[in-house]
Amino acid sequence: MSHAVAKVIEIVGSSKDGWAEAADQAVQVASKSINHITGVEVTSMTAKVSDGKIAMYKATVKIAFGVGNV
């Protein structure tokens, strides 16, 4: 099924293991309630620091998904 229209939302995923895992977590959680995800764009990567070490990685992602049919 192809889509003529896509919607894009922005969400933030987090992980203790790295930015890639944070982005993957965002997509995995979004896919539980959003069908037809077609792509993702990582727009920023940040981290929470505690005691001089990164404690939590965060990835802000834009997720595109189809909302119309051709």
CATH number at residue 26: 3.30.1660.10
Does 27 fall in a domain?
yes
User: Which segments within 1-70 are labelled E, that is strand?
Assistant: 6-15, 37-50, 53-66
Give pTM, 2 decimals: 0.84
Does the residue 43 lie in any domain? yes
Please give the structure tokens belonging to residue 9. Answer: 């939302």
In-domain check, residue 11: yes
pLDDT at 8: 96
Token duo for residue 29: 């959680």
Asked whether residue 24 is domain-assigned, the answer is yes
Query: Per DSSP, what are the bridge partners of residue 44?
Result: 60
Whether the pLDDT of residue 3 is over 70: the answer is no
Residues belonging to the chain: 70
Tens of pLDDT, residue by residue over 16-48, are: 999 999 999 999 999 999 998 999 999 999 999
* Structural domain that includes position 62: 6-66
* Sequence-ordered list of residues with C-beta below 8 angstroms from that of 23, at least 6 positions apart, any chain: 13, 40, 42, 59, 61
Q: In Å, what is the CA distance from 19 to each residue of 14, 29, 34? A: 8, 15, 22
**Number of structural domains in the chain:** 1
pLDDT, position 5: 87
